[in-house]
A and B are shown apart, each in its own frame.
Chain A
Amino acid sequence: MTGFPILSLTTFLPLVGAILIVFTRGPEDFVAKSARMIALITSSVVFLLSLAIWFNFDRTNPGFQFEEQADWMPTLHIGYRMGVDGISMTFVLLSTLLTPVCILASWEAITMRVKEYMIAFLVLETLMVGTFCALDFLAFYVFFEGVLIPMYLIIGVWGGPRRVYSAFKFFLYTLLGSVLMLLAILAMYRQAGTTDIPTLMATHFDPGMQKWLWLAFLASFAVKVPMWPVHTWLPDAHVEAPTAGSVILAGVLLKIGGYGFLRFSLPMLPDASVYFTPLIYTLSVVAVIYTSLVALAQEDMKKLIAYSSVAHMGFVTAGIFSLNVQGIQGALFQMLSHGIVSAALFLCVGVVYDRLHSREIARYGGLVNNMPRYAFAFMIFTMASVGLPGTSGFVGEFLVMVGVFKDNTWAAFFIATGVILGAAYMLWLYRRVIFGKLEKPDLMKFLDLSPREVAIFVPLILIVLWMGIYPKSFTGIFDASVDNLVKTHQTAMAEHHKVDLAEIDSPGAGE
């Protein structure tokens, strides 16, 4: 496949679809219908293209594959460079899978300004895929921050009653974090003379400077993940966003934070990563326990799932900073699993929301009686979210706990409590919505899943089970890259240690 720019094609094809939609003219009905069709076809083609990445991916190669390079600002040594390794490749697929799902999910739910909506989603897809493929830090940043624009519009235009507040909060929170990272990028550029990611990974930064850079990265990624205490934008954004917006937010955008830690913080700033591990553990533990408790108290379905996202992402951050193979693999697996499961849970909420236009848990009950198919789908995803063996959730949580346990027993202990609490709030949610007597009159006329909705859920269910039963087809992808990441990290730490010792031994040191 060398020479064929498949990553750029995957990244920018949705943009072509968006431009096509821009130029659709005609009566409103026709425009809406063709916008939907163009968006669906484009995103499906993009998904098929990304499957080619999956099948042609060399699982034994820990480095970057499908690399592309072009001049961007040659005088400044800033280039356009794309490439994926085991860490980023799965996220590309996650993005390309969830976008057509989202478009299908909004098929009937969105009736207003369909054209703009579909354009926003396709642009969003370009930016998401680009974020994971970019191998130039500035290009990464452009994609990374560009995501804010379509998401701001999606929440603000098609969101719920408090959409303006939520959209503003989302935008400003995330922006504040990321501008600090921009300064860190510029500081690294000043030392290395380039923003090329592989070059920056090989550059050694002074440990004192690393701490500042690391904190700047943290400001950006912690908001994105989101970590406690900067998570408060997430419940608001989730509650007010349209279903598909929540799906993308939980499914992909949160993963950019975790991806950022793995791609930038760990390999570029190894000393600071070790130095700040206790901080991350503390924040993760608080996130897992505190937000699980908060989730228990929620009355709103979307809010509950939003808080559960924060808790699950707490596992991810803890796993990443355990700095061993199990922990990082677990974090990656957990991100993928959460990407599918939380997206599916938001879709489940969307199904009943479309029928009743309420997200209040108390308004529901006994849906198993007239919606058995829905109850089944919801059950699978609830179990996956709880981490039942045989579903995707179990593998990630287990690996993370193994990894963290190897590094810090107490952190592992506290994080494990999150699993119990998670089971509590998810099962309770399921019981309140699905079981019980079907007493409320407006629920009785609910129809079960339509063929379109079935088409959305079936692939997601299959993936959840596949990931749970045969995780190797996924861990196999990131095995080599994660091994390499951990090994490089350990060598770097050992070398710096040696240098430190040499400085102490040499006469005249410490003047």
Chain B
Amino acid sequence: MESISLSDLNYAAATPEIFLAVVAMVLLVLGVFQGDKSTRPVGWLAAIALAVAAWLAVHVAPATGQTPAFANQFIVDGFAGFMKVLTLLATAVSILISLGYAERNGMARFELPILMTVAALGMSMMISANNLISLYVGLELQSLALYVTAAIRRDTVKSTEAGLKYFVLGALSSGMLLYGASMIYGFTGSTDFTKLAQVLTGDAQPAVGLIVGLVFLSAGLAFKISAVPFHMWTPDVYEGAPTPITAFFAAAPKVAAIALFTRVLVGPFGPLLMQWQQIIVVVSVLSMVLGAVAAINQRNIKRLMAYSSIGNVGYALVGLAAGTPVGVTGVLVFMAIYIVTTIGAFGVILAMRRKGEMIEEISDLTGLARSQPLLAYSFVFFLFSMAGIPPFAGFFGKVFVFNAAIDAHLYVLAVIGVVASVVSCFYYIRVIKVMCFDQGTEHFDAPDPTIRVVLLACSAFVLLGVFVPSWIAGAATAAAASLFPG
């Protein structure tokens, strides 16, 4: 065992995480004393704390290179900064849009925003993990908080079922991941990413056991990002969990898991590109195709969004499959745009109420364009963006990942990807058809002010899609470069 000196700890690098942990505990104490009526202030405070943490995350990230902390267990770089901003802000917005729903549906418990903050802390740890052990710890912190939030409406069967299902399958995947990690440790003698990279470089013929470990590790991570064939939990959990929680699931944890996946594969396992590229290509193709085809027959908007998110993960993996700086840039740009679009879309779903009743069936959306134009048209923008139609932002996300695929000569993958995106267009424009073409006279409730603001902001982002790439691409390129030292 090497001895660890205090200066190796480098607490400063983990300022955002330490800050979040402290805030979560303080808010917990506050909530315990104030009871459930403090949900709204706790929610706002948590959101503000998350925004501050996002700012801190940018602040501590070095311009170039990597800053290790806690004896190389934890690492801060441009990539971590970029992804943390996305996850933390997404969590903050998810908390804010959940408040109105929580109050109306009797789940206004102060634990909810705190659990989401803790989950965000776990995500932040995952993004910065530089060791298989710290990876696992961060992942489990996030997952445990998420299991509880899925079941937060403990008096409804659907919500508890979703939580239980998520927990059982999540535990299974964690087991696989841990098993893979132990295999990797056994065959290389280290869990440290930097050391793994050193060991694996120049290893012309990697041991079979190592590959098996890598496969198990990938399977565990594929579960977390709900990539096919590890996606089965997604539609059920998305449908069963309370809608704001679903919105949260679709946004922040996905980005964090993709970030983790990217860091693990291009970092320590970068030298094994030839081995894991095949896995990612297959998973990506399956996700895109299944996400496109299986969504066609969905009647429930949340299930539709579940399949849509499976498909979107497939597109992000196209960038990862390239395994190049261009590919990682593609992943970053794609996820940044995905997260805004997803939050916007769920904002609309959260606001779809008729006489106080939530609406989840797509066929019930008829006439939304007449009754609530803001909701309907912003949803139209988000759906076109997800379908990847220019000039909306989503198009540029797809351009970046497919550019990476072409750049890495993955032509077949790119062709399958674009064809799948055309198929997926079918169900996006079907929802648009229901909202805009079909006549309906029924009245919809007006959205909450918070949701209204979120919708306007997300719509502006998506509508000004043509300007988006120039904002994000620079930051994403720099962030991606930090994963490829030398």
- 1/0 per position for B457-474, CB-CB distance to A under 8 A? 000000000100110011
Is A179 a contact of B421 with CB atoms below 8 Å? yes
State which residues 450-486 of B face A: CB under 8 Å: 466, 469-470, 473-474, 477
Once the chains are docked, how many angstroms separate the CA of A138 from the CA of B469? 12
Partner of A146, one of B389, B402, B414: B389
Partner of B436, one of A156, A171, A180: A156
The stretch that binds A, out of B69-77, B188-196, B425-433, is B425-433
**Nearest-neighbor residue (CB-CB) of B414 within chain A:** A183
Q: Is A172 an interface residue (CB 8 A)?
A: yes
Q: Is B437 an interface residue (CB 8 A)?
A: yes
Q: Is B384 an interface residue (CB 8 A)?
A: yes
Q: Report chain B residues within 8 Å CB of A153.
A: 436
Is B426 a contact of A186 with CB atoms below 8 Å? no
Q: A223 CB to closest chain B CB, in angstroms?
A: 12
- 1/0 per position for A154-176, CB-CB distance to B under 8 A? 00110000011001100110011
Once the chains are docked, how many angstroms separate the CA of A74 from the CA of B406? 20
Q: Report chain A residues within 8 Å CB of B418.
A: 179-180, 182-183
Q: Is B391 an interface residue (CB 8 A)?
A: yes
Q: Report chain B residues within 8 Å CB of A149.
A: 384, 389
Q: Is B356 an interface residue (CB 8 A)?
A: no
Is B406 a contact of A186 with CB atoms below 8 Å? yes
**Is chain A's interface secondary structure helix, strand, loop, or mixed overall?**
helix
Q: Is B29 an interface residue (CB 8 A)?
A: no
Interface centre among B390, B415, B437 (most CB of A within 10 A): B390
Q: Report chain B residues within 8 Å CB of A167.
A: 433, 437
Q: Is A300 an interface residue (CB 8 A)?
A: no
* Interface band, chain B: 20 to 34
Once the chains are docked, how many angstroms separate the CA of A180 from the CA of B473? 23
Is A146 a contact of B390 with CB atoms below 8 Å? yes
Q: Is A152 an interface residue (CB 8 A)?
A: yes
Is B402 a contact of A182 with CB atoms below 8 Å? yes
Once the chains are docked, how many angstroms separate the CA of A71 from the CA of B418? 28
Is B406 a contact of A168 with CB atoms below 8 Å? no
Q: Report chain A residues within 8 Å CB of B477.
A: 75
Is A163 a contact of B437 with CB atoms below 8 Å? yes
Q: Is B403 an interface residue (CB 8 A)?
A: yes
Q: Report chain A residues within 8 Å CB of B430.
A: 168
Partner of B429, one of A145, A168, A179, A183: A168
**Nearest-neighbor residue (CB-CB) of B469 within chain A:** A73
Is B419 a contact of A176 with CB atoms below 8 Å? yes
Once the chains are docked, how many angstroms separate the CA of A145 from the CA of B406? 20
State which residues 119-148 of A face B: CB under 8 Å: 138, 141-143, 145-146, 148
Is B391 a contact of A156 with CB atoms below 8 Å? no
**Is chain B's interface secondary structure helix, strand, loop, or mixed overall?**
helix
Q: Is A76 an interface residue (CB 8 A)?
A: yes
Q: Report chain B residues within 8 Å CB of A163.
A: 437
Q: Is A405 an interface residue (CB 8 A)?
A: no
Take A172-B425, A176-B422 as given contacts and tell me if A145 and B390 are in contact as well, using a CB distance cutoff of 8 Å. yes
- 1/0 per position for A169-199, CB-CB distance to B under 8 A? 0011001100110110011011000000000
Q: Is A72 an interface residue (CB 8 A)?
A: yes
Is A152 a contact of B406 with CB atoms below 8 Å? no
Once the chains are docked, how many angstroms separate the CA of A71 from the CA of B406? 24
Q: B203 CB to closest chain A CB, in angstroms?
A: 30
Once the chains are docked, how many angstroms separate the CA of A176 from the CA of B415? 11
Take A156-B436, A168-B429, A175-B425 as given contacts and tell me if A186 and B419 are in contact as well, using a CB distance cutoff of 8 Å. no
Q: Report chain A residues within 8 Å CB of B144.
A: none
Once the chains are docked, how many angstroms separate the CA of A190 from the CA of B402? 11
Is A152 a contact of B473 with CB atoms below 8 Å? no
Take A72-B470, A156-B437 as given contacts and tell me if A141 and B414 are in contact as well, using a CB distance cutoff of 8 Å. no
Q: Is B110 an interface residue (CB 8 A)?
A: no
* Interface band, chain A: 20 to 34
Q: A121 CB to closest chain B CB, in angstroms?
A: 16
**Nearest-neighbor residue (CB-CB) of B415 within chain A:** A183
**Nearest-neighbor residue (CB-CB) of B408 within chain A:** A190
Take A75-B473, A142-B395, A167-B433 as given contacts and tell me if A186 and B415 are in contact as well, using a CB distance cutoff of 8 Å. no
Is B437 a contact of A171 with CB atoms below 8 Å? no
Take A180-B418, A183-B418 as given contacts and tell me if A172 and B426 are in contact as well, using a CB distance cutoff of 8 Å. yes
Q: Report chain B residues within 8 Å CB of A145.
A: 389-390, 395
Q: Is B407 an interface residue (CB 8 A)?
A: yes
- 1/0 per position for A49-87, CB-CB distance to B under 8 A? 000000000000000000000011111100000000000
Q: B468 CB to closest chain A CB, in angstroms?
A: 10
Once the chains are docked, how many angstroms separate the CA of A157 from the CA of B414? 33
Once the chains are docked, how many angstroms separate the CA of A75 from the CA of B395? 19
Interface centre among A141, A145, A179 (most CB of B within 10 A): A179
Q: B73 CB to closest chain A CB, in angstroms?
A: 34
Q: Report chain B residues within 8 Å CB of A74.
A: 470
Is B429 a contact of A152 with CB atoms below 8 Å? yes
Is A172 a contact of B422 with CB atoms below 8 Å? yes
Once the chains are docked, how many angstroms separate the CA of A381 from the CA of B399? 43
Q: Report chain B residues within 8 Å CB of A187.
A: 406
Q: Report chain B residues within 8 Å CB of A171.
A: 425, 429
Q: B427 CB to closest chain A CB, in angstroms?
A: 11
Q: Report chain B residues within 8 Å CB of A141.
A: 390
Once the chains are docked, how many angstroms separate the CA of A72 from the CA of B403? 17
Take A142-B395, A172-B426 as given contacts and tell me if A190 and B390 are in contact as well, using a CB distance cutoff of 8 Å. no
- 1/0 per position for B379-419, CB-CB distance to A under 8 A? 00000100001110001000100110011000100110011
**Nearest-neighbor residue (CB-CB) of A112 within chain B:** B439
Q: A470 CB to closest chain B CB, in angstroms?
A: 40
Interface centre among A143, A164, A175 (most CB of B within 10 A): A175
State which residues 455-481 of A face B: CB under 8 Å: none
Once the chains are docked, how many angstroms separate the CA of A71 from the CA of B399? 18
State which residues 304-319 of B face A: CB under 8 Å: none
Once the chains are docked, how many angstroms separate the CA of A181 from the CA of B127? 36
Take A145-B390, A152-B429, A182-B402 as given contacts and tell me if A157 and B436 are in contact as well, using a CB distance cutoff of 8 Å. yes
Once the chains are docked, how many angstroms separate the CA of A417 from the CA of B448? 65
Once the chains are docked, how many angstroms separate the CA of A176 from the CA of B389? 12
Once the chains are docked, how many angstroms separate the CA of A171 from the CA of B437? 15
Is B429 a contact of A138 with CB atoms below 8 Å? no
Once the chains are docked, how many angstroms separate the CA of A163 from the CA of B425? 17
Is A142 a contact of B466 with CB atoms below 8 Å? yes
Once the chains are docked, how many angstroms separate the CA of A157 from the CA of B395? 24
Q: B354 CB to closest chain A CB, in angstroms?
A: 22
Q: B460 CB to closest chain A CB, in angstroms?
A: 13
Once the chains are docked, how many angstroms separate the CA of A247 from the CA of B399? 32
Once the chains are docked, how many angstroms separate the CA of A342 from the CA of B433? 29
Once the chains are docked, how many angstroms separate the CA of A163 from the CA of B433? 10
Take A75-B473, A146-B389 as given contacts and tell me if A179 and B403 are in contact as well, using a CB distance cutoff of 8 Å. no
Q: B287 CB to closest chain A CB, in angstroms?
A: 18
Q: Report chain B residues within 8 Å CB of A143.
A: 390-391
**Nearest-neighbor residue (CB-CB) of A148 within chain B:** B389
When A and B form their complex, which 9 residue pairs have the shortest distance between CB atoms, in order from nearest?
A179-B418, A142-B390, A186-B406, A156-B437, A176-B422, A186-B403, A73-B470, A142-B391, A146-B390
The residues of A with any CB-CB pair to B shorter than 8 Å are 71-76, 138, 141-143, 145-146, 148-149, 152-153, 156-157, 163-164, 167-168, 171-172, 175-176, 179-180, 182-183, 186-187, 189-190
A-B contact pairs, 27 of them (CB 8 A): A72-B466, A72-B469, A73-B470, A138-B399, A142-B391, A142-B395, A142-B466, A146-B390, A149-B384, A152-B429, A156-B437, A157-B437, A168-B430, A168-B433, A171-B429, A172-B426, A175-B422, A175-B425, A176-B422, A179-B421, A179-B422, A180-B415, A183-B406, A183-B415, A186-B407, A189-B403, A190-B407
Q: Given contact pairs A175-B425, A183-B411, A189-B403, enumerate 20 new A-B contacts (beta carbons under 8 Å).
A: A71-B470, A72-B469, A73-B469, A73-B470, A74-B470, A75-B474, A142-B390, A142-B466, A143-B391, A145-B389, A146-B391, A156-B433, A164-B437, A168-B433, A179-B422, A180-B418, A182-B399, A183-B418, A186-B403, A190-B407
The residues of B with any CB-CB pair to A shorter than 8 Å are 384, 389-391, 395, 399, 402-403, 406-407, 411, 414-415, 418-419, 421-422, 425-426, 429-430, 433, 436-437, 466, 469-470, 473-474, 477
